[in-house]
Structure 1
């Protein structure tokens, strides 16, 4: 068998893709699931519904694609599940990475002077985005949970851990280093759960999974017939970094899904950002982590969903670009999509979305254009901070992937506002591709890093067409809009 099944469990849908022996997608299935918003800034998922969509899509892809030699898993990161070890049942809905309910706790920990210690050990900042404070909230706010956790009855995991637990019928409670690195609980310098941070958040170590390499033996599943080994796991943005073959220090990729996430490979060097970027693990093989700088934008593709489901000015995502193209060029609207706060480099959980520059002539086209442009502006915010942090960064082409990159209009604006070429590969769904390669390389059916990098294929390069004066003026307008949106703007 020379095929691999990639499970891509995302924020709004689950997908399963069978890749053939040449790393080409052969068969796939996808299913959306429900988003729950129980309070302002809160976002939850039903873990059982996620599980059902994963099983359904895996069966659908395998029915069409045939037998596989192994499974690779990539997943939405930071989202927290806490479940009973005996029954496998969650004790609460999953708290999603976008959720901001622990903003007050993070502010208190910052005020008490803990952020420098946390950044030194984890590469992360004290923000509700990460798993640790979400887990602390579950332990402190769901009746009976803390006692059960301290008694060893419960298990914590990010989505990968929860899926592996169920795929292996409770035989394995494990995660990989890239997902562990996003929990706020894992010391990425020493490669272990950190006692000081566990104590700070009052989290019992007994509920945490074992941490493995990205390519490892994670167990096997018999849910789809004969036993299939699970051989690769990586958080979605790390899997996309692998899928884009960004194996050399200085290489940069930017993924546009629900959010936007830019990762810059920094090799053996864990950079402590001076510009509110994150240090993280890009991937880990043979016990050796490769580090990265990351910038995280919470709302990218989700702003298109808002145009569709909130404003109802489009029926589907592909309509957004033609609508934006029809906008009045004399209007300069800025939409700051801080629906669940602002991520890097601002890290303001209390900010909320705003539109600036509205006139009586502003309509759906102008709002659609501002929405798509917001993704380009936010990306520039990230790249400027990264380049300031890491002098060895390449200032050349940016490799992009994810659903939004299918829009030529959006990618052209991205190139224009960055003033840099943007490379779109043939395979846009590089997240699943990265997970497939990790598992397939472990299984011995896919090439090594150099061989895989040689298969990366360019579909189109977008070159900047905007003049420098216009670029500077547009970006200055964006920075002013963000300044007015920040919760402490005064």
Structure 2
């Protein structure tokens, strides 16, 4: 029988499971949204139990929809929203608090304190990151410092912590395996990307007990198997879990960017641009970060990365908070109904600005509106903002890498938008390559697991599976696009520093 590989794709707004065959084709899929929790402005949380229950349900439904014998599933791969942090009871598995989501800015003041202590250079040299509330380390410290009795319980060894990959693998294995893969570990601000282990100096600086932390492991190896007796996963016990990567490196892998210099961008809740830089880390001078992309067969691959905090979430804002559209496709239809944004610029800095600015205090801004501005212009301005933010990232990336970028491979939910990708090609003056298989994040996790399980023999075999669906080429006048980017830069400056740092 043909083997199948299951990918658990646990995202910021939904949990998905996808089954792939050996040709890299989707056999079945299932998806369930879950609650977004906003306790106060700038704070974002998830209930870890929602994450587990929706992911578990999606896996079982995907298997049922495929009409296959679960014994034909050779492996499970996990990919996840990164930096989102969970703390739970080691014995009962009960979370002690909601998951603090990667978007959450509650630790911005703590990050300012760490910078004032002069830790910025040490953090960058050891972790490849910048000090920012985006990363997991300060989220852990916040829970330890602000939840009554939790620090003492942690010091007694009663608690465990981890990112979402760790949480899922721990639950899938019935609490037997507490690990995190290198790509997720390197987004915590506690992990040394040179030694591939937790850094004692950084853990002490953030006052995080090391006994809380999961064991760092490679991205393509067996971590454990699905435990018996998990409600809702009957019949799946014994399937090996042997691939794991954060969503963005998983997409880089799934896009077949195996050679240094290849670049991909994922259009999701945020935008994430990654460049394969090979076997040695590149410390950025342009506001980017460097992380482990994957470790395969003992060989480590690093990636330069730029992160946009709000991309697809800006379209959700138009739908859910402003009520201007009923669905994401309607945003495209309205945006296409006007020749441009009518001079309107939207800077969707709802939770600050990521790379290359790293401004925790920037806030969302609408500029250039007139009495003639309609919702179509706002929709077009939001799509423009996504393309412009990716331009900012790629300009910085080319400077750091010291080489021109010749094309961009794209994926993610918003990559189905022809208009967005045409705007992107025009702004970048580069080909934008959308594959037939846009589920590259899930496929990357499946591919890592399938390599470990022997479904595929090599990355070269995986490369042969990728096919382009459409390549978007620049068509608009270059001078017009350059002027739009100049105006975008001015708008970003207006959005920055909107909230003064607390003394």
User: What TM-score, normalized to structure 2?
Assistant: 0.96
Q: Report the counterpart of residue 235 of structure 1 in structure 2.
A: 246
**1:385 to partner: Cα distance:** 0.3
Structure 1: runs of 5+ lacking an equivalent: none
Q: For residues 450 and 400 of structure 2, what CA distance do their matches in structure 1 show? A: 34
Q: Report the counterpart of residue 144 of structure 2 in structure 1.
A: 139
Query: How many equivalent residue pairs?
Result: 489
Asked whether the 8 Å contact 2:84–2:163 carries over to 1, the reply is yes
Asked whether the 8 Å contact 2:269–2:311 carries over to 1, the reply is yes
Asked whether the 8 Å contact 1:483–1:489 carries over to 2, the reply is no
Q: Report the counterpart of residue 13 of structure 2 in structure 1.
A: 12
Asked whether the 8 Å contact 1:263–1:293 carries over to 2, the reply is yes
Asked whether the 8 Å contact 2:83–2:135 carries over to 1, the reply is yes
Q: Report the counterpart of residue 95 of structure 1 in structure 2.
A: 100
Q: For residues 171 and 446 of structure 1, what CA distance do their matches in structure 2 show? A: 28
Asked whether the 8 Å contact 2:84–2:102 carries over to 1, the reply is yes
Residues 1:79 and 2:113 are matched in the alignment? no
Residues 1:413 and 2:418 are matched in the alignment? no
Deviations 1:20-74 (A, max 9, x none): 1211110000000000000110000000011110111001001112221110000
Structure 2 residue corresponding to 1:175, chosen from 180, 200, 217: 180
Q: Report the counterpart of residue 127 of structure 2 in structure 1.
A: 122
Asked whether the 8 Å contact 2:407–2:432 carries over to 1, the reply is yes
Q: For residues 12 and 436 of structure 1, what CA distance do their matches in structure 2 show? A: 21
**1:287 to partner: Cα distance:** 2.9
* Between 169-178 and 319-328, the greater mean CA deviation after superposition: 319-328
Asked whether the 8 Å contact 2:363–2:499 carries over to 1, the reply is no
SS of residue paired to 2:455: coil
Q: For residues 173 and 330 of structure 1, what CA distance do their matches in structure 2 show? A: 49
**1:488 to partner: Cα distance:** 6.8
SS of residue paired to 1:302: helix
Structure 2: runs of 5+ lacking an equivalent: none
**1:327 to partner: Cα distance:** 2.6
Q: For residues 185 and 339 of structure 2, what CA distance do their matches in structure 1 show? A: 47
Q: Pick closer, same or farther for the CA change 1:17–1:311 going to 2, 3 Å.
A: same
Q: For residues 336 and 360 of structure 2, what CA distance do their matches in structure 1 show? A: 32
Q: For residues 451 and 439 of structure 1, what CA distance do their matches in structure 2 show? A: 14
Asked whether the 8 Å contact 2:426–2:478 carries over to 1, the reply is no
Asked whether the 8 Å contact 2:306–2:393 carries over to 1, the reply is yes
Asked whether the 8 Å contact 1:7–1:73 carries over to 2, the reply is yes
Q: Report the counterpart of residue 22 of structure 1 in structure 2.
A: 23
**1:286 to partner: Cα distance:** 2.5
**1:472 to partner: Cα distance:** 1.1
Structure 2 residue corresponding to 1:396, chosen from 388, 395, 406: 406
Q: For residues 73 and 474 of structure 1, what CA distance do their matches in structure 2 show? A: 40
Q: For residues 363 and 349 of structure 1, what CA distance do their matches in structure 2 show? A: 30
Deviations 1:152-173 (A, max 9, x none): 0000100010111111111000
* Between 19-28 and 200-209, the greater mean CA deviation after superposition: 19-28
**1:288 to partner: Cα distance:** 2.6
Asked whether the 8 Å contact 1:328–1:366 carries over to 2, the reply is no
SS of residue paired to 1:28: strand
Q: Report the counterpart of residue 366 of structure 2 in structure 1.
A: 355
User: What TM-score, normalized to structure 1?
Assistant: 0.98
**1:309 to partner: Cα distance:** 0.3
Deviations 1:90-114 (A, max 9, x none): 0000000000000001011112211
Residues 1:264 and 2:275 are matched in the alignment? yes
Asked whether the 8 Å contact 2:5–2:446 carries over to 1, the reply is yes
Q: Report the counterpart of residue 390 of structure 2 in structure 1.
A: 379
Q: Report the counterpart of residue 437 of structure 2 in structure 1.
A: 427
Q: For residues 185 and 53 of structure 2, what CA distance do their matches in structure 1 show? A: 24
